[in-house]
Amino acid sequence: MGRTPHKLESGALWECALKILSGRAHSTGEIKEKLRRRAERLEDIDAILSKLKDYGYLNDRKYAENFATARQENQGFGKFRVLRELRTRRVAPKLAERAVEAAYRGKDEGQLVDEFLRRKYRNVKLDEFLAERKNLAAAYRRLRYAGFNSGVAIRALKKFSREAESLDALETPEEENREEPE
């Protein structure tokens, strides 16, 4: 059985929060959850969160903007993936949506999909590879998991494979208005 960490009083809880933030940036929700597990008194948490914000160590808007921009520029993920990850990191939904929209403003999703495919399949001749139905389906699933809209993914795959027509049945008309893929 795992040992339960001892509960921390206010001063030690502050030190714990600083240590957590020294590893990587966190959202307010993430820090709150981690402190909740360690706090001797739950009342101390709000004061510590307030102090972290006052010192500029905790800023959800900046965190969400930096996170979304990094995921888009460095990993080349689609909007849905980044939005899903921000929500997992306990960023407020509206704030996450605004950060993702800002990070993807002016970006051509079709071009992002093409770049993603070239990067992930750089040692493969895509037209030959995607001629096989199983590889085409795997590439489609990979694009969806990376957060790209199914319509854009299908259009990109059609450039490389005539078999991509078979993927049309997977796209639903209402998907364009949906917030997040399944």
Domain contains 152: yes
Domain contains 20: yes
Find the angle CA(58)-CA(62)-CA(65) to the nearest 5 degrees.
140
Q: Are residues 79 and 28 in the same domain?
A: no
Which pair of structure tokens corresponds to residue 14? Answer: 């502050």
**pLDDT for position 3:** 57
Domain contains 65: yes
Which strand (E) or helix (H) includes residue 61?
A: helix 60-70
Please tell me the distance from the alpha carbon of residue 69 to that of residue 103, in angstroms, as a whole number: 5
Q: Are residues 97 and 136 in the same domain?
A: no
Q: Are residues 114 and 156 in the same domain?
A: yes
Query: SS3 of 13, please?
Result: helix
**pLDDT for position 131:** 85
Token pair 């950060």 is found at: 99
Please tell me the distance from the alpha carbon of residue 11 to that of residue 174, in angstroms, as a whole number: 52
Domain contains 167: yes
Q: Are residues 157 and 119 in the same domain?
A: yes
Q: Are residues 46 and 85 in the same domain?
A: no
Neighbours of 61 (CB within 10 A): 12
Domain contains 29: yes
122 φ/ψ angles, rounded to the nearest 5 degrees: -65, -25
77, 104, 131 — which closes off a domain?
Answer: 104
Domain contains 2: no
Q: Are residues 26 and 39 in the same domain?
A: yes
Q: Are residues 46 and 67 in the same domain?
A: no
72, 104, 136 — which closes off a domain?
Answer: 104
Which pair of structure tokens corresponds to residue 88? Answer: 């997992």
Q: Say if CB 19 and CB 8 are below 8 A apart.
A: no
Q: Are residues 120 and 97 in the same domain?
A: no
Q: Are residues 100 and 157 in the same domain?
A: no
**pLDDT for position 164:** 63
Q: Are residues 128 and 86 in the same domain?
A: no
**pLDDT for position 163:** 67
**pLDDT for position 179:** 45
Q: What is the pTM of this model?
A: 0.81
30 φ/ψ angles, rounded to the nearest 5 degrees: -65, -45
pLDDT tens digit at each of 182 positions of the chain? 555 567 889 999 999 999 999 999 999 999 999 999 999 999 999 999 999 999 999 999 999 999 999 999 999 999 999 999 999 999 999 999 999 999 999 999 999 999 999 999 999 998 889 888 889 889 999 999 999 999 899 989 988 877 666 666 666 554 444 444 43
Token pair 């929500």 is found at: 87
Domain contains 15: yes
Q: Are residues 136 and 172 in the same domain?
A: yes
In the chain, the number of structural domains is 3
Full domain range(s) for residue 18? 10-54
**pLDDT for position 130:** 87
Domain contains 130: yes
